[in-house]
A and B are shown apart, each in its own frame.
Chain A
């Protein structure tokens, strides 16, 4: 069976640019040095000592001044591009534009669209659309069960042959252990990672936020953290039993990190991700009932947040994913309990994490850069790297830049960002995907040699 699982994006003109005297940081390749970086016809042609490379006639020159940072572009295995059916929230063009603005060269889109992405023809048409509209590379995870209803497997093998990277019912759990077990068994035939949103609906039903002191004070029904962690433990055991490859989405609490660590210690083929908001915010941020702080899983307690940071540092949690979940303004401009769950995240992920965790002295920059890229490998995709002779997939970042999230609007079609209004440090100035400039910040006007 052939598996055309590679990501797709619209063709763009290859870049010719000299990035002079920039700090090149690629933790996986063990590079951290000031370099001149020459990109010719989109290919990373040369890495050399600062001052040693000269631009060709008319070639754009970006002066790093030893201050700017060049890293492998980021990869987000968990975004909602809302296409088809909810293009008023986001579409392939706006969503990938937001991703590029955040330094991402690749994203994986979720299937909770309208209609649900659960059939080969729909997957084919989405990939075709992405090949025309997407600024950066996009892959798709179709549904594990038809209509996300948990009752019947989607045609996983056919979907795989049409480019499915894996499968998920994201937004919902696969509530039935028996149904999930069948999907894990079927994975032996078709491959592809089984990606799980963990939540026990009998525990979470009716809840709008984490169960704890804040929900008690607000009188808002809470979702207990065991709603997630018991399902992580259950499904890790199923993955172990079936020797299946499973990835856990947006882990949100200490007990889930522990369940994942135990599963990994037993040699089960499981991985996990965490979002910037779960790394930086807690249920206390929900006290003012700002609907941008309403997401699923909900923001939990401070000890949960600390455990997630520790899990990220130790490697129990493999990567950072934004769960970028755009919603239209009028959908979020309602009382908290009525609001849909989700926050946007692509445009703020690096800056928010850099500001709080790196500048806060909690994790080193290398770790942040690394965990913003490892998502690709988890899905068997090549990770963006700084490698001479390959098409450039890099993000150029000004670590000193100060900005306020959302002050000049958003690239995303939606504005429901939990970090809106925050003072951030570190800004993505440019992103290259497959050798083409996918994003260029207004601060970076082209200057030709």
Chain B
């Protein structure tokens, strides 16, 4: 795999390959010395056009654990503010010959565009409201660790679907893994025709008890100013996942950061059903696996050699 641009382009086998690799890296993370030399001498460039704490830091950590060099480039305070176009920025930074560019932008399709402009491997860390594939992969990883398989499970994604790249990537990823996905939220925040992705839509939570997994989305306060919902109070009344709504056997997920008291009540955040902290932990190992997937094999010849070589490469690289 040369790039990771979207979940759309991944089949179940590809998702499972990356997640399995992440599981192998998880063993490394438990050791005292957490680095492996798999990407020694390679350069990963984090190019972020949007504020991000956890995604960027987990990519940075992932690259460092693989012994890659990391350069962070934020659009704020840079030539971008002086009006440089995305293309010129990418061409300029390409002069440093990064092996991979991790890209977050507010624009759908930007990663795919950038993949045409330079020779580096491109990892989409969020393109507008389109996709956030590494989030979906780490969610699959988290669920697999918690539940083993979730083939046939019912997953409800609740909240502001319209503005969520996480929702779009997860609908695709969960379905690829055999789950049945239902989107629920206020009608103003569920895109028309979203059912064309193969999911179902509900405007209230009366059937929520049928879900095996409840995935709450972040409700951004700025949506209020555009009157997508009448008030946070009314939103919370209808869509907040709280102790009364969350069943004992359900798993609760959230991409973070949580608005306590809005989409989630404090009690469920801290409940045993919640895997929110596990999702954050999964971020580093899954992103290690993604960087490894797009970079580690490119030195070797031929696609067929890759997959067998992968596990050995890690083990050989581990410090004694």
Question: For the complex, is A335 an interface residue (Cβ under 8 Å from B)?
Answer: yes
Question: For the complex, is B105 an interface residue (Cβ under 8 Å from A)?
Answer: yes
Pick from A211, A220, A333: contact of B108, CB under 8 Å: A220
- When the two chains form their complex, are residues A222 and B129 in contact, meaning their CB atoms are under 8 A apart? no
Per-position 1/0 for A306-334, Cβ under 8 A of B? 00000000000000000000000010011
Pick from B85, B87, B109: contact of A218, CB under 8 Å: B109
Question: For the complex, is B193 an interface residue (Cβ under 8 Å from A)?
Answer: yes
- When the two chains form their complex, are residues B129 and A220 in contact, meaning their CB atoms are under 8 A apart? yes
Shortest beta-carbon distance, A157 to chain B, in Å? 41
- When the two chains form their complex, are residues A212 and B193 in contact, meaning their CB atoms are under 8 A apart? yes
Shortest beta-carbon distance, A274 to chain B, in Å? 24
Compute how far the CA of A420 lies from the CA of B129 in the bound complex, rounded to whole angstroms: 28
Question: For the complex, is A268 an interface residue (Cβ under 8 Å from B)?
Answer: no
Question: For the complex, is A219 an interface residue (Cβ under 8 Å from B)?
Answer: yes
Question: For the complex, is B107 an interface residue (Cβ under 8 Å from A)?
Answer: yes
Question: For the complex, is A285 an interface residue (Cβ under 8 Å from B)?
Answer: no
Question: For the complex, is A338 an interface residue (Cβ under 8 Å from B)?
Answer: yes
- Nearest B residue (CB) for A330: B85
Question: For the complex, is B192 an interface residue (Cβ under 8 Å from A)?
Answer: yes
List A contacts of B109 (CB < 8 A): 218, 289, 335-336
Shortest beta-carbon distance, A88 to chain B, in Å? 15
Shortest beta-carbon distance, B124 to chain A, in Å? 12
Pick from B87, B107, B129: contact of A333, CB under 8 Å: B87
Given contact pairs A219-B108, A220-B129, A220-B130, A334 touches B191 in the complex (Cβ within 8 A):
no
- When the two chains form their complex, are residues B107 and A222 in contact, meaning their CB atoms are under 8 A apart? no
- When the two chains form their complex, are residues B192 and A336 in contact, meaning their CB atoms are under 8 A apart? no
- Nearest A residue (CB) for B193: A213
Pick from A219, A220, A334: contact of B85, CB under 8 Å: A334
List B contacts of A338 (CB < 8 A): 86, 107
Question: For the complex, is A40 an interface residue (Cβ under 8 Å from B)?
Answer: no
Compute how far the CA of A334 lies from the CA of B128 in the bound complex, rounded to whole angstroms: 13
- When the two chains form their complex, are residues A212 and B107 in contact, meaning their CB atoms are under 8 A apart? no
List A contacts of B85 (CB < 8 A): 330, 333-334
Per-position 1/0 for B210-242, Cβ under 8 A of A? 000000000000000000000000000000000
Taking each of B87, B168, B191, which has the highest tally of chain A beta carbons within 10 Å of its own beta carbon? B191
- When the two chains form their complex, are residues B168 and A217 in contact, meaning their CB atoms are under 8 A apart? yes
- When the two chains form their complex, are residues B107 and A211 in contact, meaning their CB atoms are under 8 A apart? no
Compute how far the CA of A211 lies from the CA of B194 in the bound complex, rounded to whole angstroms: 10
List B contacts of A218 (CB < 8 A): 108-109, 130
- When the two chains form their complex, are residues A219 and B129 in contact, meaning their CB atoms are under 8 A apart? yes
Given contact pairs A335-B105, A335-B109, A336-B107, A220 touches B128 in the complex (Cβ within 8 A):
yes
- Nearest A residue (CB) for B190: A216
Question: For the complex, is B301 an interface residue (Cβ under 8 Å from A)?
Answer: no
Compute how far the CA of A218 lies from the CA of B196 in the bound complex, rounded to whole angstroms: 12
- When the two chains form their complex, are residues A334 and B87 in contact, meaning their CB atoms are under 8 A apart? yes
Question: For the complex, is A215 an interface residue (Cβ under 8 Å from B)?
Answer: yes
Given contact pairs A219-B128, A219-B168, A220-B130, A335 touches B108 in the complex (Cβ within 8 A):
yes
List B contacts of A336 (CB < 8 A): 107-109
List A contacts of B108 (CB < 8 A): 218-220, 289, 335-337
List B contacts of A215 (CB < 8 A): 191, 193
Question: For the complex, is B110 an interface residue (Cβ under 8 Å from A)?
Answer: yes
Q: How large is the interface on B (under 10, 10 to 19, 20 to 34, 35 or more residues)?
A: 20 to 34
Compute how far the CA of A224 lies from the CA of B191 in the bound complex, rounded to whole angstroms: 11
Shortest beta-carbon distance, A77 to chain B, in Å? 33
Per-position 1/0 for B106-118, Cβ under 8 A of A? 1111101100000
Compute how far the CA of A289 lies from the CA of B110 in the bound complex, rounded to whole angstroms: 9
List A contacts of B86 (CB < 8 A): 334-335, 338
- When the two chains form their complex, are residues B107 and A219 in contact, meaning their CB atoms are under 8 A apart? no
- When the two chains form their complex, are residues A219 and B112 in contact, meaning their CB atoms are under 8 A apart? no
Pick from A216, A217, A337: contact of B128, CB under 8 Å: A337
Question: For the complex, is B165 an interface residue (Cβ under 8 Å from A)?
Answer: yes
- When the two chains form their complex, are residues A289 and B112 in contact, meaning their CB atoms are under 8 A apart? yes
Q: How large is the interface on A (under 10, 10 to 19, 20 to 34, 35 or more residues)?
A: 20 to 34
Question: For the complex, is B51 an interface residue (Cβ under 8 Å from A)?
Answer: no
Question: For the complex, is B14 an interface residue (Cβ under 8 Å from A)?
Answer: no
Compute how far the CA of A384 lies from the CA of B32 in the bound complex, rounded to whole angstroms: 84
List B contacts of A337 (CB < 8 A): 106-108, 128
Compute how far the CA of A169 lies from the CA of B165 in the bound complex, rounded to whole angstroms: 36
Per-position 1/0 for B128-168, Cβ under 8 A of A? 11110000000000000000000000000000000011001
List A contacts of B110 (CB < 8 A): 335
Shortest beta-carbon distance, B18 to chain A, in Å? 22
Given contact pairs A333-B87, A334-B85, A335-B86, A216 touches B112 in the complex (Cβ within 8 A):
no
- Nearest B residue (CB) for A333: B87
Shortest beta-carbon distance, A12 to chain B, in Å? 40
Per-position 1/0 for A267-302, Cβ under 8 A of B? 000000000000000000000010000000000000
Compute how far the CA of A89 lies from the CA of B124 in the bound complex, rounded to whole angstroms: 32
- When the two chains form their complex, are residues A216 and B130 in contact, meaning their CB atoms are under 8 A apart? no
Per-position 1/0 for A198-222, Cβ under 8 A of B? 0000000000000111011111111
Shortest beta-carbon distance, A218 to chain B, in Å? 5
- When the two chains form their complex, are residues B191 and A216 in contact, meaning their CB atoms are under 8 A apart? yes
- When the two chains form their complex, are residues B196 and A217 in contact, meaning their CB atoms are under 8 A apart? yes
Question: For the complex, is B197 an interface residue (Cβ under 8 Å from A)?
Answer: yes
List A contacts of B106 (CB < 8 A): 337
Taking each of A220, A221, A289, A335, which has the highest tally of chain B beta carbons within 10 Å of its own beta carbon? A335
Pick from A222, A289, A335: contact of B191, CB under 8 Å: A222
Shortest beta-carbon distance, B94 to chain A, in Å? 15
Compute how far the CA of A336 lies from the CA of B129 in the bound complex, rounded to whole angstroms: 12
List B contacts of A219 (CB < 8 A): 108, 128-131, 164-165, 168, 191
- When the two chains form their complex, are residues A213 and B107 in contact, meaning their CB atoms are under 8 A apart? no
Shortest beta-carbon distance, A74 to chain B, in Å? 35
Compute how far the CA of A217 lies from the CA of B6 in the bound complex, rounded to whole angstroms: 12
Compute how far the CA of A335 lies from the CA of B103 in the bound complex, rounded to whole angstroms: 13
Compute how far the CA of A165 lies from the CA of B295 in the bound complex, rounded to whole angstroms: 62
Compute how far the CA of A221 lies from the CA of B37 in the bound complex, rounded to whole angstroms: 43
| Residues in B190-208 with C-beta less than 8 Å from chain A | 191-194, 196-197
Compute how far the CA of A211 lies from the CA of B85 in the bound complex, rounded to whole angstroms: 27
Shortest beta-carbon distance, B52 to chain A, in Å? 17
Compute how far the CA of A389 lies from the CA of B57 in the bound complex, rounded to whole angstroms: 78
Compute how far the CA of A47 lies from the CA of B313 in the bound complex, rounded to whole angstroms: 82
Compute how far the CA of A254 lies from the CA of B110 in the bound complex, rounded to whole angstroms: 32
- When the two chains form their complex, are residues B130 and A213 in contact, meaning their CB atoms are under 8 A apart? no
- When the two chains form their complex, are residues B107 and A216 in contact, meaning their CB atoms are under 8 A apart? no
Taking each of A216, A224, A289, A333, which has the highest tally of chain B beta carbons within 10 Å of its own beta carbon? A216
Compute how far the CA of A216 lies from the CA of B191 in the bound complex, rounded to whole angstroms: 6
25 pairs of residues in contact across A and B, judged by CB atoms under 8 Å: A212-B193, A213-B193, A213-B196, A215-B193, A216-B193, A217-B168, A218-B108, A218-B109, A220-B130, A222-B192, A224-B192, A289-B108, A289-B109, A330-B85, A330-B87, A333-B85, A333-B87, A334-B86, A334-B107, A335-B86, A335-B107, A335-B109, A335-B127, A337-B108, A338-B107
Chain B residues in contact with chain A, CB under 8 A? 85-87, 105-110, 112-113, 127-131, 164-165, 168, 191-194, 196-197
List the 4 shortest-distance A-B pairs measured between CB atoms, nearest first: A335-B107, A219-B129, A213-B196, A289-B109
